[in-house]
Structure 1
Amino acid sequence: MCIWDTRVFEAVSFVKNIYFLIVNGKIKGSGLELNVANVYAPESVNAKLGVWNELSAAIEDYTGLWLVGGDFNAVRDSSERRNSRLNLSCTTNFNNFIFNSGLLEYDLKGRRALSASYSDHGPILLITRARNFGAKPFRVFNSWLGKEGYKEAVEKSLEGINFTGQPDLILAQKFSLIRKGLKAWRDEAKKKEGDLANLAVAKMEELENIMETRGLLEEEEWSYLENKKLLLEIERRKTMDLKQRSRTKWALDGDENSKFFHAHVNARKAINGIVTPRFSEIFVFF
């Protein structure tokens, strides 16, 4: 359950999942877009990995700030595990989810939470503190390479900045700046692409209504074909991104004894299998 103060936060949309609830909205007064994910992760390692992948996809698709909290049923290192054995695979998956999504962990200082009073849950005060968990990786989609402004966004990220220190640290700093620049460019490009798609759909619907009463003029026909071409190109790029994501998912899950692995094995068996007819279906001709 998520509760918020309507004087501070205005909810706009929701994403409901069996293991998490995402509330998307805006902070009043500032206009900042905020996404709050309330998580209650399952016990199974493979099931948790599926939740991390779904949350990563949601974080990739939604713009604005992100706050992810709840019961993750996972720890980041052995110091957080008490009276139980550390599952290295679970810890690795959890850390990869945090790194790949660009999230930062906020420590609980002093008492773990404030007084619970009348509730069995205690409110938590979040205070920021920078912790270095290593370089943050970022994903670049192949469809971005042909988009307008991609190359300029990379070059602009490093303009006028002097780097000092060890070569590996300098490289990490450069990657961090490029990641921020590409993220801002991606959000702007996605919004611009959405606006163009909406305009193209509206124009095509307008021309289709005209076609019900008369034939299109040469200029109108050209406009119809160009808008259709634009929508097909946008759809092609989305398909490229989905294909690349599926390959990443196979690289992560393909060799594990998981539902994802068995689904692919069963699909391959179904394709390659030879169907043997039952006795009643065998016909003999003389």
Structure 2
Amino acid sequence: MGVTESIINKLWGRLIRDWVAKEAVGAAGGIIMIWKCDQITVEEVNIKGFSVSLLLNSSNWTEKWKLTVVYGPARARERIALWTELRDIREQRQGPWMVGGNFNTIRLPEEKNRMALITTSMRNLSNFINDSALIDLLLEGARFTWTNNQENLIMSRLDRILISMEWEEAFPLIYQRALPKPTSDHNPILLELSNFLEGPRPFKFNLALCETPKFVDHIKLWWNEEYFEGWKGFILFMKLKHIKMRIKEWQKSEIEASRFGKEDVLSSLESLERKEEDSCLTTEESMERLVLLEEYEEIIRREEIAWRQKSRSIWVKEGDHNSTFPPAWLILEGESTPLTA
């Protein structure tokens, strides 16, 4: 099944955006890139054997820059074509360049949980980085970005983001961080540019609150806790106004609880992942991870309800949070939001 507008809508919603995709061959090689049209202008798209490149104008940078997303081949003998392809892309245009994704090879022996010998692929990756004058940013949050999720555990750093000197000069505080991977064998990579604080937003009722067990009980309690006198229309107006006030207070506390609950779950999963990098998990820890994954799926299900409400896309079905489509390696929203790979 190819990438369609419906799939993109499920990933992103019906916002002001555009996208390009490289179809997968079997279960590998697929790339999806999505960007906000009001903040990023794409002047050129170049789809090659192992990569997709965009020539961009972004609202937070006056200079044009090139973005390349990679899905490297699993077979070592095919990677020679990958390095040739990337060098050709670099030669076509100098200037700011960012290249990242799944290179399907490590660079250093310590980037694998089982100490590896230095291979030709490792040398070729290092040579490409050096020849292209790219910066291999330190990875925060994890040592490895991929696991086979098998009893005979193998973990490697296959995913990375490389930037040119122009990027480092424009954004000297830029860094990449591995996020937890509750539903994938790859860690998402967050490229952080700057912090951004959003202003206040108008109140909107969150439909996900209806999923909470005591929602109806709360409404009954709030309806009866205040007494008003006057004509029926006035009483109804005042009761609804009072319920709105209580819902706003409750919704704020629920959102905070959900946010911190999600952070706690992801933090616990991340701790278990870090422990698994050094030693096998005990039976109790494996069961704890299963419970945490169930909690995470419930949190995500409620978030999907909220996003469906925000986008007014009733066709986004609950539970449609899966990884059956090619990975969305990079989502661009400009300076206000970090780049996610």
Higher share of residues assigned strand: 2
More helix by share: 1
Larger RCO of the pair (alpha carbons < 8 Å, separation 6+): 2
TM band (smaller chain): 0.3 to 0.5
